Structure 1
Amino acid sequence: MSRRFLELADVADELSISVRQAYTLVRSGDLPAIQVGGRGQWRVETTVLEEYIQRKYAETREMVRNRPATELD
């Protein structure tokens, strides 16, 4: 059975970014999350993370489509 929620460390690992960067995504509202427990630790639902990844793929496709080939890195 897969987990419904991920800790920020798991999100960071999945996206190959730092935990601090994952926290920034959550605090900015770019990656929706909830706070749980007495210490208010952040949790990201696995389906929400997948939606975020798919949204970023769509944004990247659009960016590439709108940039001339000479501007591509």
Structure 2
Amino acid sequence: MTPRFLELADVAEELSISVRQAYTLVRSGELPAIQVGGRGQWRVETSVLEDYIQQKYAETREMVRNRPAAEAD
């Protein structure tokens, strides 16, 4: 069974980025997350991470579509 929430280390592994980069995405609000527990540990809901990834795919498709042909090489 897939866990509902992921730790930032798991998010970083899934996105192939550092934990620091994952933390920056969360702190900037780009990747929605919640803080839980007495120490305020960050957690990202699995479905939110999937939505984020799909949004990034859509943004990339749009960027590629709008890029002039001269820049393609």
**TM-score normalised to structure 2 length:** 0.96
Structure 1 Cα separation of the partners of residues 23 and 3 of structure 2: 20
Query: Structure 1 regions of 5+ residues with no counterpart?
Result: none
**TM-score normalised to structure 1 length:** 0.96
Over the aligned positions, Cα root-mean-square deviation in angstroms equals 0.9
SS of the aligned residue for 2:38 comes to: coil
Counterpart of 1:43?
43
Q: Is 2:63 the partner of 1:31?
A: no
Task: Return structure 1 stretches of 4+ with deviation > 2 angstroms.
Answer: none
Q: Deviations over 1:9-58 (max 9, x none)?
A: 00000000000000000000000000000000000000000000000000
Query: Structure 2 regions of 5+ residues with no counterpart?
Result: none
Identity of aligned residues (%): 88
Number of matched pairs: 73
Structure 2 Cα separation of the partners of residues 71 and 43 of structure 1: 39
SS of the aligned residue for 2:42 comes to: strand
Counterpart of 2:58?
58
